[in-house]
Chains A and B, each alone.
Chain A
Amino acid sequence: MGKPNTITINGHEFEFEPHQTILDVARRNSIDIPTLCHLKHTTPTGACRMCVVEVEGARSLLVACATPAATGMVIYTESPTVIETRRMLLELLLSSGNHNCAICQTSGDDWTQFQLRVQQEEDTTELCPVWGDCQLQDLAFRYQATGAKFPATPTRYPMETVNPFIVRDFSRCIQCGRCVQACTEVQVNNAISFGYRGSRAKIIAAGDRPYRDSDCVFCGECVQVCPTGALVEKDTRYQSRPWEEQKVRTTCTYCGVGCQLYLHVNDNKIVKVSGVPDMPPNYGSLCVKGRFGYDFVNSSHRLQTPLIRENGSLREASWEEALDLVANRLGQIKSEYGSDSIGVLTSARISNEENYLANKFTRAVLKTNSIDHCARL
């Protein structure tokens, strides 16, 4: 037995705290154990076995995400058996469905035929929509796994595209269950679960119905945690590739929770929104408005120039003209009827800085305290 509360990973000793798993200890010490199904703050399911490690004295490999650290454990995270097991697991995953990200060579038919079949199913000639942003692809590359080792098993279930926000592509689902964890343990919307058994396994919503006919509220938490291209934002799919995007962190513009989010920008256009992980107040979660309600920014209905009313209707005007008019008329009314004949409504939609200036302008320039906003409504 070694020192109490100490384990050895790859020849180095590390202390641990009660209830920590092997994965927790490894991560805290920057040792990279790959995971697919593990989702922080939820109950470990051990579904994917990607995190297997070798523990001296144990009869088989153990899953790091669900095995508590115990004093004296001696652990190897990249031993030959571990690497071989992970490669085989990946080969199995890659052989089923449409993992056409070019790391996948199929066995029976050749790549061309495989790709043709996928193209037909997907109605596009492009490679997987999350190419370059897929944890399965990353791991396949890391362990040099392809789909050629095992007979290809095509997809049983057609893609679901009938809701406005999320495409469910069962051909790329690896049954890791992260979406189910996210929906039931993070957002607690309880909309999806594992359905059917064995090779027919499928993630189902409400007795196998489309999302839109289930309890799903389109928070998109499942999309954010899906490690593959099985769940993708409909508007982003094939419209933007991750390496073309810049991420800008900001605060949601809708309700008062103030969720922290990333606006993914491609060519001066918001193409996607994701939650900022591990940061208060929302720790990566968003709701349907915050995640999918960004179309207004780029709407053709946006006002683009000042407008002035003339003969009963509004016409375009220059800033000079509009601002002069506003300043003159407010000035006139103030001197003619007094400061209290003017009221200002500032806004719960604009920034603190802008509200402060609205307050300063009303009191210091208009010389009235009649300023309010519609928050009570």
Chain B
Amino acid sequence: MTNTIGEIEKTDVILITGSNTTENHPVISSFVKRAVSFGDTKLVVVDPRRITISDFADFWLRQNLGTDVAWINGMIHVIIKENLQDQSFIDQRTQGYEELKQTAEKYTPEYVEEITGIPAQSLIEAARLYATAKAGSILYCMGITQHTHGTDNVKSLANLAMLCGHLGIEGGGVNPLRGQNNVQGACDMGGLPNVYSGYQAVTDEGARKKMETAWGVTDLPDKIGLKVTEMIPKAHSGDVKAMYIIGENPLVSDPDLNHAEASIKNLDFLVVQDIFLTETAQLADVVLPAKCFAEKEGTFSNTERRVQRVRAAVDAPGQVKEDWEIICEIASRMGYPMSYENSEAIMAEISQVTPSYGGINYARIEQQGLHWPCPNEEHPGTPILHVDLFTSGKGTFHAIDFAPPAEAADDDYPLYLTTGRVLYQYHTGSMTMKSEGLNDRSPESFVEISFQDAGKYGLEDGTMVDVTSRRGSITARVKVSTKAVPGTVFIPFHYAQSAANKLTNAALDPISGIPELKVCAVKLSKAA
């Protein structure tokens, strides 16, 4: 997030899109609901489902799946046409405005309505609301990123925020809500194919030399590595021979699971390090047991870039080790001696080689976490990004045209499917499904469908139905719901049995490498 969670309660307008906030980030949703219910904050929700948070909204705009660039450009069109943009912000802090203006020209509310299904008048009013606010905060999640045009979607949201000067100020920002507890940290720490910790590029010779010195090695590779969504196909083709998978379960979370499974099975050697024998671990050659969060010391970085402590509360079962100990042991056995006294010693090294974590140490975050960038020990941390300057100087507008999603509904597969999570389960369920209580509330997969579609296909609440896409088929129980809109069904992806990802499309966003998990075409038929 460019801004903090706390600011959500103090902003004038909140625009939520592609985030089922009450189920996926429940505590953040309370900030939103309080702001709207007890303050003067206005709320715009743009989402293909009538999710719970839309009950609190001044406007719920329902876009057709995968048409986000179009409605965002539409808002930009309205704002420029009505001269509601923040011209001084644009002049002083940005570049590329003319191109944006030209591209937005054709996205009249009427044209946008054709593409997105959002009524022109609603779009105009929502755009005015956001543009005329003193501070407006955009919250988004995977409903924006998990598309073949996910990167375009994110850039478009940034365009909208910059156009209105809603960046670098309190209560503003473009705020991705991170799905998993330490996604932010995994990225910050170099768990990406193109950067070391602190987003220092592997292609940058200076950065490489610096890390070589710090790590006492030579010849660090200078070529960008493979993304997860590239590794799997390369495993299939035999270019990738071995994988070392720590704490992930791609065999439920990946798109087009049938293909993913074949790929993993094709590996010569698979090591999985986890707390449970997950679907992925069951295919491994070696499984290494790890400690869970309640058994270890360390830090997580939350979605607002706040680095916070994790502390050991109970002893671990059996012979399990901390993930870092295991990594050290393997490295040492491969001829690179690696050892640390404890996690705090690792953090000391991190702060030395990572400018944005330079001032982070355990003593400082004992009571309250710090927001990076925090370059030195005197620095108070940075709750709000881009206050004076963008990281790269001027903020660039990206003129982006709408392009449809990779797969469209047709006569054979007449319905759209979108996927997501439910409140009571988490990711692939390896943790939440160990809780009787959570399973009691959300025991199994389901297909959420509108009353209209239920009528059309002769389905009742509770009947079993086969859902089929071009890639696979699953069986799940029908849940008729007011959250669904005719023409689109929803399935949560948590459940390995009737896994939604047997249906989803693995078509990737060319830049982020994120698959289009949010849109594909399916058909329904009553299960035999």
Q: Which residues of A contact B (CB under 8 A)?
A: 164-165, 185-188, 212, 217-219, 234-235, 246, 248-260, 263, 265, 268-270, 279-282, 285-290, 292-299, 301-309, 314, 317, 319, 322-327, 329-331, 333, 337, 339-365, 367-377
Find out whether the CB atom of B320 lies under 8 angstroms from the CB atom of A304.
yes
CB closest residue in chain A, given B217? A364
Judge whether B269 is part of the interface by a CB distance below 8 angstroms. Answer: yes
B residues in contact with A249, CB < 8 Å = 309, 311
CB closest residue in chain B, given A322? B286
CB pairs A–B below 8 angstroms (21 shown): A217-B26, A246-B313, A251-B309, A253-B181, A256-B25, A258-B303, A280-B4, A281-B304, A288-B438, A302-B292, A307-B287, A324-B333, A340-B223, A347-B248, A348-B247, A350-B247, A355-B190, A368-B225, A371-B225, A372-B226, A373-B183
Find out whether the CB atom of B289 lies under 8 angstroms from the CB atom of A364.
no
Find out whether the CB atom of B432 lies under 8 angstroms from the CB atom of A296.
yes
* Bound form: Cα–Cα A213–B101 in Å: 51
* Bound form: Cα–Cα A323–B277 in Å: 18
Central interface residue in B241, B271, B306, B326, by most chain A CB within 10 Å: B241
Binds A, one of B91-99, B107-115, B125-133, B227-235: B227-235
Central interface residue in A295, A365, A376, by most chain B CB within 10 Å: A376
Find out whether the CB atom of B182 lies under 8 angstroms from the CB atom of A297.
no
Find out whether the CB atom of B248 lies under 8 angstroms from the CB atom of A345.
yes
Main secondary structure of the interface of A (DSSP, over half): mixed
Smallest beta-carbon distance B280→chain A, Å: 9
* Bound form: Cα–Cα A339–B217 in Å: 15
In the A-B complex, the 5 residue pairs with the smallest Cβ-Cβ separation, listed nearest first, are A304-B318, A258-B302, A256-B178, A351-B298, A369-B225
Taking A188-B33, A286-B27 as contacts, is the C-beta distance between A369 and B221 under 8 angstroms? yes
B residues in contact with A270, CB < 8 Å = 294, 313-314
Find out whether the CB atom of A369 lies under 8 angstroms from the CB atom of B202.
yes
A residues in contact with B387, CB < 8 Å = none
Smallest beta-carbon distance B382→chain A, Å: 15
A residues in contact with B276, CB < 8 Å = 296, 299, 301-303
Bitwise, B495-523 to A at CB < 8 A (1) or not (0) is: 00000000000000000111101000000
Judge whether B58 is part of the interface by a CB distance below 8 angstroms. Answer: no
* Bound form: Cα–Cα A185–B33 in Å: 9
8 A Cβ contacts from B262-279 to A: 268-269, 271, 274-277
Taking A258-B306, A359-B189 as contacts, is the C-beta distance between A301 and B242 under 8 angstroms? no
8 A Cβ contacts from B414-438 to A: 423-424, 426, 430-432, 434-438
Find out whether the CB atom of B220 lies under 8 angstroms from the CB atom of A363.
yes
Smallest beta-carbon distance A322→chain B, Å: 5
Binds A, one of B66-74, B159-167, B192-200, B465-473: B192-200
Taking A258-B303, A341-B241, A354-B322 as contacts, is the C-beta distance between A369 and B347 under 8 angstroms? no
Find out whether the CB atom of A304 lies under 8 angstroms from the CB atom of B220.
no
Smallest beta-carbon distance B217→chain A, Å: 5
Taking A285-B30, A309-B284, A361-B327 as contacts, is the C-beta distance between A255 and B178 under 8 angstroms? yes
Bitwise, B283-309 to A at CB < 8 A (1) or not (0) is: 011111110111110111111101111
Find out whether the CB atom of A329 lies under 8 angstroms from the CB atom of B285.
yes
A251, A268, A376: the one contacting B302 at CB < 8 Å is A251
Smallest beta-carbon distance B278→chain A, Å: 10
B178, B242, B441: the one contacting A164 at CB < 8 Å is B441
B26, B186, B250: the one contacting A355 at CB < 8 Å is B186
CB closest residue in chain B, given A259? B27
B residues in contact with A377, CB < 8 Å = 146, 228, 250, 253-255, 514-515, 517
CB closest residue in chain B, given A212? B441
B27, B189, B220, B512: the one contacting A257 at CB < 8 Å is B27
Taking A186-B30, A306-B287 as contacts, is the C-beta distance between A258 and B323 under 8 angstroms? no
* Bound form: Cα–Cα A365–B424 in Å: 40
* Bound form: Cα–Cα A324–B248 in Å: 22
Find out whether the CB atom of B38 lies under 8 angstroms from the CB atom of A256.
no
A residues in contact with B347, CB < 8 Å = 352-353
Find out whether the CB atom of B188 lies under 8 angstroms from the CB atom of A363.
no
Bitwise, B24-45 to A at CB < 8 A (1) or not (0) is: 1111101001100110000000
Judge whether B243 is part of the interface by a CB distance below 8 angstroms. Answer: yes
Find out whether the CB atom of B293 lies under 8 angstroms from the CB atom of A253.
yes
Judge whether B404 is part of the interface by a CB distance below 8 angstroms. Answer: no
